[in-house]
Amino acid sequence: MTQKLPFEALSVETLPSRLGDNEALRAKIGKDTSAWKVREVGDGNLNLVFIVEGASGAAVVKQALPYVRLVGDSWPLPLKRSFFEYHALTRQEERAPGSVPTIYHFDEAQALIIMEYLSPHIILRRALIEGRQLPNIARDIGLFMARTLFRGSDLHMAARDRKADLALFADNVELCDITENLVFSDPYFDARMNRHTSPQLDGIVAELRADRDLKVEAQRLKHSFAANAETLLHGDLHSGSIMVTERETRMIDPEFAFYGPMAFDVGMLLANFWMSFFSQRGHEQSGKRDAMRAYLLEVTVETWVVFRAEFSHLWRTERTGMLYQKSLFEDQGDRLGAEQALDHVLHQIWTDLLGFAGIEVHRRILGLAHNADFETIADEDLRASCEAKALKFGRHLAVNRRQIHSIDEVSTLAALIEQESSI
Amino acid sequence: MTQKLPFEALSVETLPSRLGDNEALRAKIGKDTSAWKVREVGDGNLNLVFIVEGASGAAVVKQALPYVRLVGDSWPLPLKRSFFEYHALTRQEERAPGSVPTIYHFDEAQALIIMEYLSPHIILRRALIEGRQLPNIARDIGLFMARTLFRGSDLHMAARDRKADLALFADNVELCDITENLVFSDPYFDARMNRHTSPQLDGIVAELRADRDLKVEAQRLKHSFAANAETLLHGDLHSGSIMVTERETRMIDPEFAFYGPMAFDVGMLLANFWMSFFSQRGHEQSGKRDAMRAYLLEVTVETWVVFRAEFSHLWRTERTGMLYQKSLFEDQGDRLGAEQALDHVLHQIWTDLLGFAGIEVHRRILGLAHNADFETIADEDLRASCEAKALKFGRHLAVNRRQIHSIDEVSTLAALIEQESSI
């Protein structure tokens, strides 16, 4: 099935003729290509995304470009990220069934994935900006993270399989490089591609860049990100990588997938809820957002509670890998030994996720890739005020992460910072 | 140069005809193969080692066997370990020039490395058993560890190169598996291949296997060993992998090389000095060993001091990788920020090396692969008494590693345990 032609970017016009003989796509949406309707809807930073509708259905065609779409061809980026996305999606579907779009076809040479068109799903970030309270996201995302992170690690997998997979994903160098630089380093010095709401944030930006403790923590977290190949991460699990309906939640876009620390996915995800929390004041022209803020804190609490519960459940029932073997604990009648080890592992994830969350907040306000939660606040003074609070919150998390014991404390901290005009 | 013939184990008889046309070997030892004298001297657990002497010199031919020599062909082991050893040796030579044998030739299909014959070097472990005080080992080994561990990490390398190398060594699955099981797990339950001095140690063995805190620590260390791909390790850096003269020190046998935590090599190495310390009483028939014991503690102190000093020097002068970039610290006039980060990194290495050291002591007394320090003590009661002290010392290090602040404290602890008859 794989086309051997050299890579060529699709367009709305060429897609029907280029993919008209693709059996998977024809079977899904109908064989009459003259009836196909194609729209390009990519709103991310990197790729082309088409929705193709035919007589009997619809599908998404996602194609990588040989450069960063947000920046242009001055920043080349390998097509192989499509290969990593495809392999990540198949592993996620296996480990957390029903959590990602169904794949119909993958073409490595053309760097394209044909997959399920999720409808009427919208991007979670958009829903949160609109002030929609979705009842299932905490549970769905908490389960997704626990299942993919646990089942992709030496807690569950055969060591040989994990090492082979680690070698496969080690080649995802350029996308790791984006995270390594844009997330962990650039925000903390005058890097070329940085931007922030200016001049309103100039003072706090200078303060953060002079903050030795913060910078050391950010680099220690980068050290862990780069070295601690614990499990296959989604790698970019923010609210723009999640599609929702009132009842359903699907994780998309795992092209940043690689082997890293479990806490990274969890921390990035929670950071995006906390940023949504601090951005709500900027969206109050359409009505007060007190209930939405309360909802968002509840979501962070429930996500972590569900994650912990499911991770613990898997620890007790699927701990079949080489780490913390039952032969050392349960098989010796020492169930409590296994629980003690679980506490240690969860404690490490907790401590690290707070750090990753703090850094993620910073880079979304100080670095290259901002997010719509803040960007859509047109009033720059209002936006800067929301952003400044988030920056202070992020700094507190990153530097004090070993002294924060519970998610409730983080909720209290967020509420305190939100209420105080100067803190 | 590479032979395409299928693998065949060499023997003393076949070596001259099989390698008689090898240019590298002929150039080194002389072309007249009829004058070659061959001895097999492998005393390790895994491989064949030949010394070949000719008219003009000598060389070592090391060949992997497709099974574990210590156990036999019931335990197959891939020939590819020779490939990993070769690649580790070349990287070590590059990063710490003069610290490993010179390589003359590598044949992947025959799993053989032809290398420098070190003479009059002897195995460090043998020298220590004989009570010899070598003046340079602490300095030489401390420098070797700091240089290879620092320069093989994201502190120094380009991220792309490290990731590619990590993928290469990720395939060294079977040798990692040996460490993962034999070092971190088997000693703590009734594993098939375990043995210990019995019945003398039966009591303490039962105690250690019921020691929940110890077992949890051992597994957390295993977790770090398996996941934390920080740098290219030697992977088996004990006193049997080091050859010495009065003035020279060379590290050999890095076939266990893979990407793991820096603290592993340092911890295993120091553990072997501490085991030598506790074994000295078993060798006192040839004279008191008080001075030797004092020397061994001084060696551990100096090794760690040299390691810290060289690592810190490299941190200040060769920190060219993506971690803790100068752009965040020195380039902002914040030299102290870089020093703060260095303290954090060294603290982590210190805390973890104590754990790895404790576990290494245990596995050498309770697991499959014992060491000659204790094994050559013929009196079983005396041997058991030495071993029991080492076991208690190892347990103390592994469980209390976060509360031990200096290498001097460890020396005091070792001396205390050595002096007390029941502790």
Does residue A326 surpass a pLDDT of 90? yes
**What residue of A is the nearest CA neighbor of B221?**
A323
Mean pLDDT of A43-52: 87
Same-domain status, A56 and A130:
no
Decide which of A101, A116, A131 is a domain's last residue.
Answer: A116
For B389, the domain range is 122-419
**Within-domain flag for B13:** no
- Within 8 A of B230 by CB-CB distance, chain A residues are 227
What pLDDT score does B5 carry? 84
- Within 8 A of B229 by CB-CB distance, chain A residues are 166, 227-229
Classify residue A8 by its DSSP letter: -
Query: Chain-centre distance of CA B329, in angstroms?
Result: 35
pLDDT in tens, B153-192: 999 999 999 999 999 999 999 999 999 999 999 999 999 9
Rounded to a whole number of angstroms, the distance from the CA of A171 to the nearest CA of chain B is 7
**Within-domain flag for A4:** no
Instruction: Give pTM, 2 decimals.
Output: 0.96
Quote the mean pLDDT of chain B: 96
Cβ(B310)–Cβ(B143) below 8 Å: yes
Q: Which of B186, B212, B342 to mutate: most A Cβ within 10 Å? A: B212
Model confidence at B244, pLDDT cuts 50, 70, 90, reads very high
Model confidence at A423, pLDDT cuts 50, 70, 90, reads low
Model confidence at A3, pLDDT cuts 50, 70, 90, reads very low
What pLDDT score does B1 carry? 46
**Within-domain flag for A10:** no
Comparing A38-42, A97-101, A154-158, A257-261, the range with the smallest average pLDDT is A38-42
State the amino acid at position A216 in one-letter form: V
Q: What is the three-class DSSP state of B12? A: coil
Could B163 and A173 be called an inter-chain contact, meaning their C-beta atoms sit closer than 8 Å? yes
Same-domain status, A44 and A105:
yes
Could B337 and A181 be called an inter-chain contact, meaning their C-beta atoms sit closer than 8 Å? no
Same-domain status, A93 and A146:
no
Same-domain status, A216 and A294:
yes
**Within-domain flag for A239:** yes
Model confidence at B2, pLDDT cuts 50, 70, 90, reads very low
Of A181, A230, A340, the CB nearest to B212: A340
Rounded to a whole number of angstroms, the distance from the CA of B158 to the nearest CA of chain A is 11
Does residue B49 surpass a pLDDT of 70? yes
Decide which of B69, B93, B116 is a domain's last residue.
Answer: B116
Tokens of B384: 């058991």
What pLDDT score does B423 carry? 57
Same-domain status, B96 and B145:
no
- For residue B65, give the nearest of B87, B54, B50, B51 by alpha carbon: B50
Rounded to 5 degrees, what are φ and ψ at A371? -125, 160
- Within 8 A of A209 by CB-CB distance, chain B residues are 332
What pLDDT score does B160 carry? 97
Q: Residues B132-166, buried b or exposed e (16+ Cβ, 10 A)?
A: eebeebbbbbbbbbbbbbbbbbbbbbebeebbebb
- Within 8 A of A322 by CB-CB distance, chain B residues are 180-181, 185, 222, 226
What pLDDT score does A44 carry? 67
Model confidence at A121, pLDDT cuts 50, 70, 90, reads very high
Does residue A286 surpass a pLDDT of 90? no
What pLDDT score does A71 carry? 80
Of B163, B226, B341, the CB nearest to A323: B226
Mean pLDDT of A300-312: 98
Could A329 and B177 be called an inter-chain contact, meaning their C-beta atoms sit closer than 8 Å? no
Could A324 and B228 be called an inter-chain contact, meaning their C-beta atoms sit closer than 8 Å? no
What pLDDT score does B124 carry? 98
Same-domain status, A219 and A295:
yes
Could B230 and A230 be called an inter-chain contact, meaning their C-beta atoms sit closer than 8 Å? no
Q: Which of A194, A207, A219, A348 to mutate: most B Cβ within 10 Å? A: A219
Q: Residues A323-358, buried b or exposed e (16+ Cβ, 10 A)?
A: bbbeebbeebebeebbbbbbebbbebbbebbbbbbb
What pLDDT score does A43 carry? 73
Model confidence at A1, pLDDT cuts 50, 70, 90, reads very low
Same-domain status, A169 and A299:
yes
Cβ(B258)–Cβ(B80) below 8 Å: no
- Within 8 A of B166 by CB-CB distance, chain A residues are 166-167, 170, 229
Distances (CA, A) of A161 to A255, B106, B173, B410: 20, 29, 10, 39
pLDDT in tens, A264-280: 999 999 999 999 999 99
Same-domain status, B302 and B176:
yes
Does residue A2 surpass a pLDDT of 70? no
Model confidence at A420, pLDDT cuts 50, 70, 90, reads confident
Q: Which of A213, A215, A366 to mutate: most B Cβ within 10 Å? A: A215
Of B210, B213, B340, the CB nearest to A216: B340
Does residue A421 surpass a pLDDT of 80? no
Of A167, A216, A327, the CB nearest to B167: A167
Distances (CA, A) of A413 to A195, A227, A274, A295, A408: 27, 31, 11, 15, 9
Q: What is the CATH number of the domain that holds A29?
A: 3.30.200.20
Model confidence at B405, pLDDT cuts 50, 70, 90, reads very high
Could A185 and B228 be called an inter-chain contact, meaning their C-beta atoms sit closer than 8 Å? no
Model confidence at B44, pLDDT cuts 50, 70, 90, reads low
Rounded to a whole number of angstroms, the distance from the CA of B387 to the nearest CA of chain A is 22
pLDDT in tens, A188-221: 999 999 999 999 999 999 999 999 999 999 999 9
**Within-domain flag for B21:** no
pLDDT in tens, B282-336: 999 867 999 999 999 999 999 999 999 999 999 999 999 999 999 999 999 999 9
Residues whose CB falls within 8 Å of the CB of residue A422, separated by 6 or more in sequence, listed in order: none
Same-domain status, A194 and A224:
yes
**Within-domain flag for B2:** no
**What residue of B is the nearest CA neighbor of A222?**
B323
pLDDT in tens, A6-41: 999 999 999 999 999 999 999 999 999 999 999 999
Same-domain status, A201 and A347:
yes
Same-domain status, B285 and B412:
yes
- Within 8 A of A164 by CB-CB distance, chain B residues are 170-171, 173
Does residue B3 surpass a pLDDT of 60? no
Other CB atoms within 10 Å distance of the CB of residue B192: 6
Decide which of A75, A91, A116 is a domain's last residue.
Answer: A116
Residues whose CB falls within 8 Å of the CB of residue B361, separated by 6 or more in sequence, listed in order: B271, B274, B275, B390, B391, B393, B394, B397
What is the greatest pairwise CA distance in chain A?
68
Q: What is the CATH number of the domain that holds B324?
A: 3.90.1200.10
Model confidence at B70, pLDDT cuts 50, 70, 90, reads confident
Does residue B150 surpass a pLDDT of 90? yes
Query: What is the residue whose two structure tokens read 């992170």?
Result: A149
Mean pLDDT of A334-350: 98
Model confidence at A42, pLDDT cuts 50, 70, 90, reads confident
Same-domain status, B219 and B130:
yes
- For residue A345, give the nearest of A143, A154, A96 by alpha carbon: A154
Residues forming a β-bridge with B233: B258
Mean pLDDT of B401-410: 97
Q: Residues B226-252, buried b or exposed e (16+ Cβ, 10 A)?
A: bbbbbbbbbbbbbbbbbbbeeebbbbb
**What residue of B is the nearest CA neighbor of A327?**
B189
Rounded to a whole number of angstroms, the distance from the CA of A351 to the nearest CA of chain B is 15
Mean pLDDT of A40-52: 87
- Within 8 A of A227 by CB-CB distance, chain B residues are 153-154, 228-230
- Within 8 A of A181 by CB-CB distance, chain B residues are 322
Number of domains making up chain B: 2
- For residue B272, give the nearest of B69, B129, B421 by alpha carbon: B129
What pLDDT score does A48 carry? 94
What pLDDT score does A422 carry? 60
Of all residues in chain B, the percent with pLDDT exceeding 90 is 94
Does residue A249 surpass a pLDDT of 70? yes
Classify residue B46 by its DSSP letter: S
**What residue of B is the nearest CA neighbor of A180?**
B322
**Within-domain flag for A2:** no
pLDDT in tens, B327-371: 999 999 999 999 999 999 999 999 999 999 999 999 999 999 999
- Within 8 A of B164 by CB-CB distance, chain A residues are 170-171, 173
